[in-house]
């Protein structure tokens, strides 16, 4: 890499530290934000979906009860009201009751007033979905006893027990406020329709190609939004998305680009590109279907994870993909997470990869699966899924295992392990929003308790360890039991196979202002504060 290119990259990266100065500028009104989205939408329903392909183009149409502070999104403890009034309330009744006053000037885009009854109906739809309705985050609210509207503009949550995980769960960016009337008539209405109370209302949908919105003049927050509208351009191919930004047809992609794409954009456009980077509350993983005969045997599961050179893979893959950090099921760098030295003692994390693979071969022979072969279902998205899948196949080949990758569209990929269960193994991802290990690791609970357990097992012993962490009244006890849970999931049972945690890199046109990066590509997507300096 030449000196000029290195200097340009350094200058753009430094721009991250100058974001605060940019925010001090006076925002300008007007303009259309064009952004690219690397995935199509299985449906439009945020309560039932968990892909960035839904939240990026659809979130601007909706409001939330509370949200991560868009001015400080890197802080996992900083929450602000959206449709509630004032500050996020403190609990009463020894931590069992939370009372939220609701704004009185919010309306849905069809003209209906938003009230506490809509908030209650929305959270009941999430926490206790009716028969035939999927809620992929219901497990996050096990601490909730009930939610009620005590009048038209007051919502009260009653908890079964105090929980430090409750407020972060409430701030989940998929918790869109829906109309109680529409949910009562058809609880699946929002899968194919859009009607929110957000800063933008729907203009147009071109299936698989474009979703556009226009400024909602009756938005309840005075002076917002700044933009006249947005166009979300659906483009699954990364090369198309990079070229769109380079050629001026798009301003930003909110998810992330790999290092080379960042470098190429900076080399081509110089200071016309700004870069924000962050550690990412996402990991790429392998889900082994515990109903598939070989994977019922924990020796086989351990062999497959022992074959993976995570430390070497981090060095290699971080140069070409949005993967970098080695970690367990707890977000790396969090006070609860293990150090490098502690990780190296866990199954699949040994620093001596040859020793690890020798043990893998021994386990396969002992289990009677020396010539194991299986089908690996993957999402037809380059970053990081297909890159990870191809690399994993090479890793397993070193212990005599043959895996065949089958890349499918996002909808089919989700259905294979969420509904039909017709897969043997799958490249999956655990992507969370607010960093909160108690919530983020709950996808390792039994399938009867967590719909995001894509491995299909029930394990009461593991659940009991997790429950100790969830009910801990102080951080040290929570850390102790959550680490014990991690040890059980990875070391003892090999239920879950974390490959690497992601590295979020967002290069974008420098005239885009008012957006701040967070550890999650799900946060900060309402576009309320975004403006264009041109």
pLDDT at 225 exceeding the cut of 60: yes
Which of residues 411 and 120 earns the better pLDDT score?
A: 120
Among residues 292, 297, 294, the alpha carbon closest in space to that of 494 is found at 297
Burial 144-169 (b: 16+ CB within 10 A, else e): beebebeeebbbbbebeeebbbbbbb
Section 231-246 average pLDDT = 97
| Average pLDDT score, the chain | 93
CB atoms within 10 A of CB 511: 14
Q: Which pLDDT belongs to residue 87?
A: 98
Q: What angle separates helix 3-14 from helix 259-269, to the nearest 10 degrees? A: 100
Chain segment 20-76, per-residue pLDDT in tens: 334 469 999 999 999 999 999 999 999 999 899 999 999 999 999 999 999 999 887
Instruction: Answer for the pair 309, 246: CB distance below 8 angstroms, yes or no.
Output: no
**CA dist., res. 374 & res. 439, Å (int):** 31
Among residues 239, 319, 233, 253, the alpha carbon closest in space to that of 507 is found at 253
Instruction: Answer for the pair 53, 45: CB distance below 8 angstroms, yes or no.
Output: no
Least confident residue range of 236-240, 250-254, 435-439, 442-446: 435-439
Q: Which pLDDT belongs to residue 7?
A: 36
CA distance to 13, 197, 525, per residue, from 73 (Å): 19, 22, 11
Q: Which pLDDT belongs to residue 525?
A: 96
Instruction: Answer for the pair 520, 434: CB distance below 8 angstroms, yes or no.
Output: yes
CB-neighbour burial class of residue 5 (10 A; exposed 0-12, middle 13-18, buried 19+): middle
CB-neighbour burial class of residue 467 (10 A; exposed 0-12, middle 13-18, buried 19+): middle
**CA dist., res. 533 & res. 513, Å (int):** 7
DSSP 141: G
Calculate the dihedral angle through the C-alpha atoms of 438, 441, 445, 447, rounding to the nearest 10 degrees. 130
Q: Degrees (nearest 5) of the Cα angle 424, 429, 430? A: 120
Among residues 19, 18, 29, 38, the alpha carbon closest in space to that of 515 is found at 19
Q: Which residues pair with 277 in a beta bridge?
A: 505
Tell me the HSE value of 478 on the side-chain side, using a 13 A CA sphere.
19
**CA dist., res. 253 & res. 487, Å (int):** 37
SS3 466: helix
Which of residues 109 and 78 earns the better pLDDT score?
A: 109
Q: Which pLDDT belongs to residue 335?
A: 84
Section 520-531 average pLDDT = 96
Q: Which residues pair with 159 in a beta bridge?
A: 144
Task: Report the Cα–Cα distance between both ends of the chain, in Å, rounded.
Answer: 32
DSSP code per residue over 165-225: THHHHHT-TT-----HHHHHH-TTGGGT-----SSEEEEEEETTTEEEEEE-TT-SSTT--
Least confident residue range of 113-117, 418-422, 436-440: 418-422
pLDDT above 70 covers what percent of the chain?
A: 96
DSSP 17: G
Among residues 518, 76, 501, 78, the alpha carbon closest in space to that of 276 is found at 518
Q: Which residues pair with 214 in a beta bridge?
A: 201, 229
Q: Which pLDDT belongs to residue 371?
A: 95
**CA dist., res. 307 & res. 360, Å (int):** 6
pLDDT at 471 exceeding the cut of 60: yes
Calculate the dihedral angle through the C-alpha atoms of 346, 352, 354, 357, rounding to the nearest 10 degrees. 10
Section 104-125 average pLDDT = 99
What are the φ and ψ backbone dihedral angles of 303, each rounded to 5 degrees?
-60, -45
| pTM of model > 0.85 | no
CA distance to 96, 285, 344, 451, per residue, from 164 (Å): 11, 27, 30, 22
SS3 408: strand
**Sequence-distant (≥ 6) Cβ neighbours of residue 114 within 8 angstroms:** 63, 83, 102, 103, 106, 107, 108, 177, 197
Q: What is the 3-state secondary structure (H, E, C) of 248-303?
A: CCCCECCCCCCHHHHHHHHHHHHHHEEEEEEEEEEEEEEEECCCCHHHHCHHHHHH
CB-neighbour burial class of residue 335 (10 A; exposed 0-12, middle 13-18, buried 19+): exposed
Among residues 169, 117, 118, the alpha carbon closest in space to that of 143 is found at 169
DSSP 124: H
């Amino acid at each position: 890499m030449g000196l000029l290119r290195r200097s340009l990259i350094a200058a753009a990266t430094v721009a991250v530290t100058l974001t605060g100065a940019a925010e001090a500028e006076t925002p300008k009104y007007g303009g259309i934000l064009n952004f690219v989205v690397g995935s199509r939408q299985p449906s439009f329903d945020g309560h039932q979906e968990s892909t960035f392909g839904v939240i990026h183009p659809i979130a601007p149409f909706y409001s939330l009860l509370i949200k991560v502070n868009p001015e400080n999104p890197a802080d996992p403890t900083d929450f602000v009201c959206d449709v509630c009034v004032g500050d996020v309330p403190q609990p009463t009744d020894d931590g069992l009751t939370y009372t939220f006053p609701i704004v009185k000037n919010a309306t849905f885009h069809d003209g209906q007033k938003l009230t506490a009854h809509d908030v209650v109906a929305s959270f009941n739809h999430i926490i206790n979905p009716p028969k035939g309705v999927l809620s992929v985050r219901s497990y996050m609210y096990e601490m909730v006893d009930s939610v009620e509207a005590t009048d038209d503009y007051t919502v009260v949550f009653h908890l079964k027990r105090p929980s430090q995980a409750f407020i972060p769960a409430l701030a989940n960016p998929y918790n869109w406020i829906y109309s109680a009337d529409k949910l009562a008539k058809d609880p699946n209405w929002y899968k194919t329709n859009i009607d929110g109370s957000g800063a933008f209302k729907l203009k147009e949908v071109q299936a698989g190609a474009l979703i556009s919105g226009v400024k909602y003049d009756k938005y309840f927050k005075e002076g917002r939004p700044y933009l006249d509208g947005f166009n979300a351009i659906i483009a699954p191919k990364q090369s198309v998305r990079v070229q769109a930004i380079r050629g001026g047809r798009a301003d930003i992609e909110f998810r992330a680009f790999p290092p080379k794409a960042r470098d190429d954009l900076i080399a081509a456009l110089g200071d016309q590109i700004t870069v924000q980077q962050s550690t990412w509350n996402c990991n790429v993983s392998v889900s082994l279907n515990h109903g598939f005969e070989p994977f019922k045997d924990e020796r086989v599961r351990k062999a497959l994870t022992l074959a993976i050179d995570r430390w070497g893979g981090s060095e290699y893959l971080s140069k070409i993909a949005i993967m970098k950090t080695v970690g367990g099921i707890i977000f790396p760098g969090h006070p609860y997470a293990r150090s490098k030295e502690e990780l190296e003692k866990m199954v699949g994390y040994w620093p001596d990869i040859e020793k690890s693979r020798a043990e893998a071969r021994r386990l396969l022979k002992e289990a009677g699966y020396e010539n194991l072969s299986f089908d690996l279902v993957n999402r037809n998205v380059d970053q990081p899924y297909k890159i990870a899948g191809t690399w994993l196949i090479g890793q397993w080949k070193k212990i005599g295992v043959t895996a065949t990758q089958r890349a499918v569209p996002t909808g089919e990929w989700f259905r294979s392990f969420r509904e039909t269960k017709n897969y043997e193994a799958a490249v999956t991802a655990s992507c969370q929003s607010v960093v909160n290990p108690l919530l983020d690791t709950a996808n390792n609970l039994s399938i009867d308790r967590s719909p995001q357990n894509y491995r299909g097992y029930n394990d009461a012993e593991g659940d009991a360890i997790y429950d100790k962490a969830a009910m801990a009244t102080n951080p040290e006890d929570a850390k102790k039991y959550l680490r014990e849970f991690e040890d059980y999931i990875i070391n003892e049972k090999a239920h879950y196979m974390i490959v690497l945690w992601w590295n979020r890199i967002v290069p974008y046109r420098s005239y885009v202002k008012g957006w701040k990066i967070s550890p999650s590509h799900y946060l900060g997507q309402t576009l309320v504060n975004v403006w264009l300096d041109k």
